[in-house]
């Protein structure tokens, strides 16, 4: 059965919007938890303050990671609107459908992603 390109595009958009909403809720939860935890520091000893600072650092890193994933989804939506979705930003070749199905907001094919990671 052949799927019309507009239907496929709408399915991709729906999946990306759902993922953006999921990440937004997750981000809001982490930020709310950080806000509540920060308000409960009075009267703690040095060890408790150190533990709480470590936990806040971990929560902050998680919030940044979630925000980065949200930005990737936004970028994928922009690429979809511009007609560039599914094209590798590195080599300009098509990204395999299986990779897009697994990671809908991906912008690099496996080869370009591997090369970009090996530079670090």
- What the block records as the tokens of 102 is 């697994």
Q: 10-residue block means of pLDDT along the chain (120 residues)?
A: 65 93 95 77 70 87 95 93 92 92 89 85
Q: Is 25 left (phi over 0), alpha (psi -120 to 50) or beta?
A: alpha
Sequence-distant (≥ 6) Cβ neighbours of residue 56 within 8 angstroms: 34, 37, 38
100 within 8 A of 76, measured Cβ to Cβ: no
DSSP state of 44: -
**Half-sphere exposure of 28 toward its Cβ, with a 13 Å CA cutoff?**
6
The angle, 0 to 180 degrees and rounded to 10, between the axes of the packed helices 46-82 and 5-38 is: 160
Instruction: Give me the pLDDT at residue 1, please.
Output: 45
Instruction: Give me the pLDDT at residue 39, please.
Output: 63
The C-alpha atoms of residue 74 and residue 39 are separated, in whole angstroms, by 32
66 within 8 A of 23, measured Cβ to Cβ: yes
């Amino acid at each position: 059965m052949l799927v019309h390109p507009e239907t496929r595009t709408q399915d991709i958009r729906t999946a990306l919007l759902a993922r953006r909403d999921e990440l937004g809720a997750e981000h809001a939860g982490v930020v709310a938890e950080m806000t509540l935890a920060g308000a409960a520091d009075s009267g703690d000893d040095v060890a408790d303050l150190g533990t709480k600072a470590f936990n806040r650092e971990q929560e902050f890193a998680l919030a940044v990671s979630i925000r980065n994933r949200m930005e990737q989804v936004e970028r994928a939506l922009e690429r979809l609107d511009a007609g560039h979705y599914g094209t590798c930003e590195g080599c300009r070749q098509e990204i395999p459908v299986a990779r897009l199905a697994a990671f809908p907001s991906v912008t690099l094919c496996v080869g370009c992603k591997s090369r970009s990671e090996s530079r670090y």
